[in-house]
Amino acid sequence: MKRLPSHPQPSAVRFSRRELLRRTAAASGVLAAPWIISARSLGADGAVAPSERITVGLIGHGLMGRGHLRRVSGDPALQVLGVCDVDRARCEEGVRRVEETYAERAAGSSRGCAAYNDYRELLARPDLDAVVIATPDHWHTLQSIDAAKAGKDVYCEKPVSVTIQEGRQLAETMRRYGRVFQTGSQYRSIPTIRRVCEFVRAGGLGQVKAAFTIWSSLGGWLRSERFRPYAQVVGADTYASSNVPLDFALPAEPVPEGLDWDLWVGPAPARDYNRLYHINPPPGVVPWSFCEDFGAASVTWHHSHSADVIQYALGMERSGPVEILHPHDGAYPTLTYRYANGTLLHLVDHWGVVKDVYKAVPPNARLAGLFGGVFVGERGWLTSMTTGGPVEGGPESLFDELQLPTRDANPGANNHHQNWYECMRTRQAPSSDEEIGHRSASLGHLAILAYKLGRSLKWDPLKEEFLGDEQANRLRCRARREPWRI
């Protein structure tokens, strides 16, 4: 079965026997990608013969990689063949976890899990179907593209890029090689959020006048006493600076044994090792994310969740805004995106702004939720709470039409992975494919450029260029260190 029309399959692409069998099976059955893998697709009683399992490798066994490895190694439809990390200790830990998981299964169900220092060696395996990429941001695009060229499907952590140009290169490469690419924007796979988005998208609120989202949480964390010492070291001790990547260099320290620092840096400019780049100092904070050479900053991470579902609800997930309005220009007290149909998306630093400044919702509205979104339309208002909180809104009559699903026991992250697995079998586009991932990341990049330049920007989402602003256009890309060219 061919993928969706927007994802043409070039005739030059060759498939393994395993993939041909999957494509043939898909042609006789499923016409739409379900959110949960069916028993039929798994085999009798959900059991999958070792020869029919999707084989997967993990690239990056850090903060996010550990969660991904737990999911893929725990799924009987998959087989983890390798773990790659430039930190030997992390890599060995990942291999050990896989072996412990498979040791609990029936004898003969495992084919062994190998350790890799260089991701290119993992990609060279002919028996590997797909990879999960959970490395620092500056590696996402290049590793995804290399995986596509090696004939592997890809699940990539958000954001998929650190520049607008990189994201476009990634999207085009995935289509050129016919790969199934899933962005790690798992909140769009939570049933309640999907229902709210589909309701808004279908006109349930009428014309959406405005949407709101918290544009980051790191400012609050970094202002706390617990995180302040680290924040001051990297220069991220103010709220504004914590949301955009910073240009800073930390003093050189000895590289720990077992860490390939040059390969960790990869395509980024050469920098001396410092533990604050690599080791998580306080739990939940990823240190390299504040350095513009390595990370795309918290605004881009959050946009890959919160703004991603908002663009989905607005029907703009494959397009984007036409203007980025800087708060210094006085139009609005927050950074704001304007879409061609007039809808405004405001990035707020706390939910009180939605009530007190914009008067968009009643004073008693509950707007709890780290990655939540608020939609205000002609017929009322609704929230999409991505942390599992209740959906709020008004008037009450909206909920009769909305018909929210019952609370789902399967978390969004599991749904999101399973959607990717099933699409690898059917060769259909998953829920957060390469174009959607690129457009969500681009929202963050646009916000960063507006703040760096200190002014509003006009944007052509079709051509992906700024109108009448050569300085901004030059910032859509960046140089890469040799030999790491795309």
Alpha-carbon separation of residue 211 from 207, 349, 378, 453 (angstroms): 11, 14, 12, 24
Tell me the sheet residues that pair with 182.
155
pLDDT higher than threshold 90 for residue 369? no
CA angle (88, 94, 99) in 5-degree steps: 125
pLDDT at 246: 72
**214 φ, ψ (degrees, to nearest 5):** -70, 130
Q: In this model, does residue 435 exceed pLDDT 90?
A: yes
The single-letter code of the amino acid at 351 is: W
Query: Does the pLDDT value for residue 352 go beyond 80?
Result: yes
Domain assignment of residue 11, yes or no = no
Take residue 277 and report the two structure tokens written for it.
Answer: 């780049």
C-alpha dihedral sign at 446, 326, 214, 220? positive
Give the three-state DSSP class for 343.
coil
Give the number of domains in the chain.
2
The pLDDT > 70 percentage for the chain reads 78
Considering only residues 149 and 274, tell me which one the structure prediction assigns the higher pLDDT.
149
Residue 390, pLDDT score: 79
pLDDT of residue 94: 98
Q: What pLDDT does residue 306 have?
A: 83
1 in a structural domain:
no
Both tokens assigned to 444: 């963050």
Which residue would you say has higher pLDDT here, 249 or 187?
187
Q: Which residue has the higher pLDDT, 287 or 478?
A: 478
Looking at residues 52-57, what average pLDDT do you find? Answer: 94
Q: Is residue 48 part of a domain?
A: yes
Please give the C-alpha separations between residue 35 and each of 179, 193, 242, in angstroms, as whole numbers: 19, 14, 35
pLDDT in tens, 133-145: 999 999 999 999 9
Neighbours of 424 (CB within 10 A): 24
Residue 156 near residue 140, CB atoms below 8 Å: yes
Kindly report, residue by residue over 84-114, the tens digit of the pLDDT: 999 999 999 999 999 999 988 765 566 789 9
pLDDT at 33 exceeding the cut of 70: no
Question: Do 346 and 364 belong together in one domain?
Answer: yes
pLDDT of 42 reads: 45
Model pTM score: 0.86
* Domain membership flag for residue 7: no
Do residues 228 and 104 both lie within one domain? no
Quote the crossing angle between the two packed helices 434-453 and 164-177, to the nearest 10°: 170
Alpha-carbon distance of 236 to 435, in angstroms, equals 31
Q: Is the pLDDT of residue 154 over 90?
A: yes
Does residue 40 sit in the same domain as residue 81? Answer: yes
My answer on whether 200 and 129 are in the same domain is no
Same domain, 183 and 270: no
Give residue 449's pLDDT band: very low, low, confident or very high (50, 70, 90). very high
Same domain, 177 and 262: no
172 and 245 share a domain?
Answer: no
Residue 4 lies in a domain: no
Specify the higher pLDDT residue, 131 or 284: 131
What is the per-residue pLDDT across 386-425, written as a single tens digit (0 to 9) for each?
565 678 899 999 999 998 876 554 455 578 999 999 999 9
- Is the per-residue pLDDT at 381 higher than 50? yes
> Does 276 share its domain with 137?
no
CATH code for the domain in which residue 124 is found = 3.40.50.720
Residue 65 within any structural domain of the chain? yes
Is there a single domain that holds both residue 371 and residue 468?
Answer: yes
Looking up residue 250, the CATH number of its domain turns out to be 3.30.360
Distance between CA atoms of residues 64 and 242, nearest Å = 20
CB neighbour class for 194 (10 Å; exposed up to 12, middle 13-18, buried from 19): buried
Per-residue pLDDT tens over the stretch 222-260? 555 655 656 666 655 544 445 667 777 788 999 999 999
Can you give the residue range of the structural domain that contains 421?
17-188+411-433
Question: What does the pLDDT look like over 339-348, one tens digit per residue?
Answer: 999 999 998 8
Q: How far apart are the first and last CA of the chain?
A: 30
pLDDT tens-digit readout, 106-131: 655 667 899 999 999 999 999 999 99
Which stretches does DSSP call E strand in 281-372? Answer: 323-325, 335-338, 344-348
pLDDT at 280: 62
CA dihedral 118, 434, 204, 399 (to 10 degrees): -20
Q: What is the average pLDDT score of the chain?
A: 83
Beta strands in 294-378 (DSSP E): 323-325, 335-338, 344-348, 373-377
Instruction: Say if residue 100 is in the same domain as residue 199.
Output: no
Please say whether the beta carbons of 113 and 83 come within 8 A. Answer: yes
Q: Does 2 score more than 60 pLDDT?
A: no
What pLDDT does 270 receive?
Answer: 94
User: Which of 50-54, 59-63, 206-210, 251-255 shows the lowest per-residue confidence on average (mean pLDDT)?
Assistant: 50-54
Higher pLDDT, 277 or 431: 431
Does residue 204 share a domain with residue 132? no
Range list of β-strands (E), 277-329? 323-325
**Which DSSP symbol is given to 291?**
B
Q: Measure the CA angle with vertex 386, ends 460 and 442; round to 5°.
A: 20
- Tell me if 2 is assigned to some domain: no
In a domain, 10, yes or no: no
Q: Are residues 92 and 146 in the same domain?
A: yes
